[in-house]
Structure formats: structure tokens, C-alpha cells
């Protein structure tokens, strides 16, 4: 996947994460591992690898919450 495609995916997942928080599916704290990375979809100077790391962090939390797991701590989600 090209960097611009990955950044687009990152933006879409960030939007879904906000929706999860607004609907009460997830708490803001669930996304702390993602926020600790310091990479957002608007961090265009970040490398492709850093965006991929952020995307994977978002996916772990979103997958855990979508599965209805009581915690979204990434270390508890295999991947």
C-alpha cells in the first residue's frame, strides 16, 4: 500500500474511532496507545512505517471493541 493510501486509511479509521467514542462503544482512554504514538492522519511528514504503526494501533482497539471485548488494551488482542 502506498503512503497516501495508508494515510487515507488512517484518516478513515480515526473517524471511526471518534464515532465509537461518541456512541459509547469505546472510551477515549482505550485509544491512549494510539495517541501515545503522536501520529495523526494530518502528520504528513511522518514516514509510511509510522502511519502503519498508528493504523495497526487503531485497528487493535477497534477490533476489540467491535468484538465486544471488555477491554481494548492492545496487548490482549492477538495480532
pTM attached to this predicted model: 0.84
Identify which of 72, 78, 79 has the alpha carbon closest to the alpha carbon of residue 33.
Answer: 72
* pLDDT, position 70: 61
Average pLDDT over residues 15-33: 95
Query: How does DSSP classify residue 41?
Result: T
Residues 6+ apart with CB under 8 A from 11: 41
Fold assignment, 3-76: Substrate Binding Domain Of Dnak; Chain:A; Domain 2 (1.20.1270)
* pLDDT, position 79: 46
45-67 burial: b if 16+ Cβ within 10 Å, else e: ebeeebbbebbebbbbbbebbee
Every domain of the chain and the residues it spans: 3-76
How many beta carbons lie within 10 A of that of residue 74, not counting itself?
A: 19
Percentage above 90 pLDDT, the chain: 84
Amino acid at each position: 500500500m502506498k503512503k497516501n493510501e495508508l494515510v487515507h486509511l488512517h484518516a478513515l479509521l480515526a473517524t471511526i474511532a471518534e464515532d465509537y467514542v461518541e456512541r459509547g462503544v469505546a472510551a477515549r482512554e482505550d485509544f491512549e496507545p494510539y495517541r501515545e504514538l503522536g501520529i495523526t492522519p494530518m502528520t504528513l511528514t511522518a514516514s509510511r512505517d509510522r502511519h502503519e504503526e498508528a493504523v495497526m494501533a487503531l485497528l487493535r482497539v477497534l477490533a476489540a471493541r467491535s468484538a465486544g471485548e471488555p477491554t481494548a488494551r492492545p496487548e490482549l488482542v492477538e495480532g
